[in-house]
Amino acid sequence: MKRIFSIILLVQIFISEIKSQNIDSVKTYNLKEIELYVKPTKNEIERLPEIQNGIIFSGKKNEVIKLGNIDADLSINNSRQVFGKVPGVTVWENDGSGIQVGIATRGLSPNRSWEFNTRQNGADISAEVFGYPEAYYTPPLEAVERIEIVRGAGALQYGPQFGGLLNYVMKKGDPNKPISFESQQTIGGYGLFNSYNGIGGTYKKVSYYAYMHHRSADGWRKNNNYEINSGYASITYSISSKMRLSADYTRMGYNSKQPGGLTDIQFEKDSRESSRNRNWMNVPWNVASITFDYNISENSYLTAKFFGVVAERNSVGFVAPVNVADTFNNTIKSYNPRQVDRDSYKNYGGEVRYLQSYQMFGQKQSISIGLRVYKGELGRRQLGRGTTGFDLDLNVTNPTWGRDLTFYTDNYSVFAEHLFKIGKRLSITPGARYEIIDNRGEGYYRITAGNENKITTESRGRQLLLLGTGLEFKTSEHTNVYANFTQNYRPVTFSELTPSGTTDVIDPNLKDAFGYNIDGGFRGTIKNFISFDIGGFYLLYNNRIGTITQNGAPFRTNIGASLSKGLESYLEVDILGLITGNGKFGHLNLYASYSYIDAEYTRWDNPAIVNDPQKTLVGKKVEYVPQQTQRYGVTYIYKTISATFQLNHIDAVYTDALNTEKPNATAIIGKIPAYTIMDASITCGFMKNYNIKAGVNNLANVNYFTRRAGGYPGPGLMPGNGRTVFFSIGAKF
């Protein structure tokens, strides 16, 4: 508590010092979101304004995806289509369900988007932000108004993650109607049925929105059926013209059958095959938040957000390598018992942000300061002896778990950024974030000869200071040059402290990862018909954690450092608009999203074999990083009709740090070939309130895969879906 009070006092001192200045009147900050987007065409990727909701975005590389403006298969959260115009996004496609979105940029891991600070309406939604930052929950994208992405420069405002911010902003009630209703019903190949129904509106001082969502399918592969149900409710009360109080709650739950991985030979023979028919995953997720906004004066804005997550991640199945058959055991006259793993998450926290503006040198200057308090608890019981059945049964036949751990996280941070404007064109935004992170754990990770092997590291405390600076120069009213340097940090996660196998050994001296992001570029719009963002980046990632073989056993330790550098570019041109100067004949948008990433290991920290040039990692490519990611598309828009064709070409990647070319017998390492995927979709509005949507995913029925899994949902290589179709009809009143 002393730390909390000390940080609060520091914030109050900041505010007092600012208010003591001679502040002239400047434009008020409206409680509604400040959107200063320039929108040349229907399908443009937009940018965040300099300041929004008390947060400074000037000089930061960012993208805003308006979900209502794109032709994409939202019924299954098709990530390669939704993020198609965000250059450099790597997508993992596990099962075609869209239940979990896994994306990354700049050579980071796409595993459940865990290198991002993942949020919904600005509130945390991942399992545990520092200890286990995997996002098992993704909202149905039909319910999302927009997706905000801020690259690594978002670390100062949102947390130290290397990836930055991934924020899903949900729809709100119609401000002009007391009640409105929308419904979208979708059917598709392999038993797909998706139903989305939302209601909202505004009555006097109250605005509200709620939805119910259901999606189920048999799945493209065998043993791939799933069912997901979710609901959401939000309400906003305008206390006065200056104060607003909002609350929202989300409940999601899904049951998903896991078909398991394949070997490369099985994949070539029949990529829809499955050798696992007893594996399941069950995930109930609850997210809630309360937000208070206060426009104190024309120069002062205060916002406070309190949030919580109560959730589980449960699985049951036969988890042996894919080359081990799940067969009937004649000795026990049944199938072998399955393994049960159960996680529980209880997290809560709050953020307070304060924005102050004042006049200096004839320009409006702004400072944003904030305070964050967060507490997380993760309970992990694994290696339980489950039933011998086929259904989703999480019961255990032995009350003693093979692993039983509880991890706790306490996090306190204070952060500040100042937007200095120099003249009418140049702005500089220095900032800092001070983090206090305490991790502690208790329990055992293994039982050997009846004895509990307790975790060796019981408590870890860190205090760190992150610094950063952004720069933006307006070359015209709608174009600017930007640059940013921001330090990043990632503590050792709980999963990295937990052995994945019975023989694994964990280095008791694991170090936290640290490094920085540097990026810069030129972006904007020209004549409302051209939109672009072309830039480069440089990302240093120290103390990467990996697994090597030591004394004949897998040893998890810090293996070295990696460096990612490259180009991220996006260009969209409205050909018809450029030729005619208007939209009389509609809009024909051509776009290209291209990234080039050179990601390799630059330091190797294993002294046992550092002198063996054949085993060093220096010069090896970082796993799962395609050198080139190319996405091209064309969209034709005429009145209420919009049709899009998209082509994705992804280069080959390695799946281990040693860059093994040939796959091993269990298919968990080995090179992943390059692939090219094409998608097509169309939207047609009619009779003012109705729409029809249809499309074909993987038009050419390409056989491809994006990852090799060492555990769930594998082990083995995980095929991407072949050709699938969907048809949807919707209405909005």
List residues bridging with 453 in a β-sheet.
Answer: 446
Give residue 454's pLDDT band: very low, low, confident or very high (50, 70, 90).
confident
pLDDT at 380 over 50: yes
Within 10 angstroms of residue 551's Cβ, the number of other Cβ atoms is 7
User: What is the Cα Rg of the chain in Å?
Assistant: 26
Q: Is the dihedral of CA 297, 300, 301, 306 positive or negative?
A: negative
- Side-chain-side CA neighbours of residue 111 (13 Å): 16
pLDDT over 90 percentage in the chain: 75
In sequence order, what are the residues at sequence separation of 6 or more whose Cβ sits closer than 8 angstroms to the Cβ of residue 485?
Answer: 468, 469, 470, 516, 517, 518
Contact 99, 226 (CB under 8 A): yes
Mean pLDDT of 121-135: 93
Place of tokens 């490369």: 264
* Tokens coding 36: 């200063």
**Which residue's entry shows tokens 């390598």?**
321
Buried/exposed 402-416: b ≥16 CB within 10 Å, e otherwise? bbbbbbbbbbbbbbb
pLDDT confidence of residue 710: 83
pLDDT at 486: 98
Taking only the tens place, the pLDDT of each residue in 212-227 is: 999 999 999 999 999 9
With contact defined as beta carbons under 8 Å apart, do 592 and 631 qualify? yes
- Half-sphere CA count of 316, side-chain side, radius 13 A: 20
CA distances to 281, 316, 335, 500 from 384, in Å: 15, 9, 16, 14
What average pLDDT does the segment 481-497 reach? 90
SS3 call for 322: coil
pLDDT in tens, 568-623: 999 999 999 888 887 788 999 999 999 999 999 999 877 555 455 556 788 999 99
Averaged pLDDT score across all residues of the chain? 89
3-state DSSP call for residue 647?
A: strand
Q: Tokens at residue 257, please?
A: 């059958």
618 CB contacts (<8 Å, ≥6 apart)?
A: 560, 601, 602, 603, 604
Q: Which of 262-266, 506-510, 553-557 has the highest mean pLDDT?
A: 262-266
DSSP for 97-116, please give it.
S-SS-EEE-TT---GGGTTE
Q: CA distances (Å), 481 to each of 303, 472, 533, 538, in order? A: 30, 6, 10, 17
- Residue 98, pLDDT > 50, answer yes
Instruction: Quote the pLDDT of residue 546.
Output: 73
Average pLDDT over every residue of 60-84: 94
Q: What is the reported pLDDT for 549? A: 62
Q: Per-residue confidence at 713, pLDDT binned at 50, 70, 90?
A: confident
Q: How confident is the model at residue 230 (pLDDT cuts 50, 70, 90)?
A: very high
Q: Look at residue 498 and tell me whether its pLDDT is greater than 90.
A: no
User: What's the whole-number mean pLDDT along residues 155-178?
Assistant: 95
pLDDT at 38 over 80: no
* 256-265: b (≥16 Cβ within 10 Å) or e: bbbbbbbbbe
Query: What pLDDT is recorded for position 551?
Result: 63
Measure Cα distances from 661 to 93, 171, 658 in Å: 21, 46, 9
Predicted structure pTM score:
0.92
Average pLDDT over every residue of 542-557: 72
CB count within 10 Å of CB 386 equals 22
Query: For tokens 């002239």, what's the residue?
Result: 24
Yes or no: say if 623 and 652 are a contact pair by the CB < 8 Å rule.
no
The helix (H) or strand (E) run that includes residue 155 is helix 155-158
Residue 136 structure tokens: 């098992």
Q: Is 162 exposed, middle or buried (0-12, 13-18, 19+ CB in 10 A)?
A: buried
635-690 pLDDT, tens digit each:
999 999 999 999 999 999 999 888 889 999 999 889 999 999 999 999 999 999 99
Mean pLDDT over 345-351 rounds to 97
Token output for 610: 């550092």
Average pLDDT over every residue of 172-181 = 96
Domains of the chain as residue ranges with CATH: 2-732 (2.40.170.20)
Could you tell me if residue 371 is left (phi over 0), alpha (psi between -120 and 50 degrees) or otherwise beta? beta
pLDDT, position 506: 76
Q: Hey, what amino acid is at 340?
A: V
Q: Which of these, 73, 105, 100, lies nearest to 567 by C-alpha position?
A: 105
Beta strands 530-550 and 513-526, pairing class: antiparallel
Mean pLDDT of 702-718: 90
Q: Which residue, 349, 392, 399, 347, is CA-closest to 374?
A: 349
> Are 457 and 511 within 8 A, CB to CB?
no
Tell me what pLDDT residue 37 has.
27
pLDDT tens-digit readout, 419-433: 999 999 999 999 999
Predicted pLDDT of residue 11: 37
- Do residues 313 and 343 make contact, with C-beta atoms less than 8 angstroms apart? yes
Q: How confident is the model at residue 3 (pLDDT cuts 50, 70, 90)?
A: very low
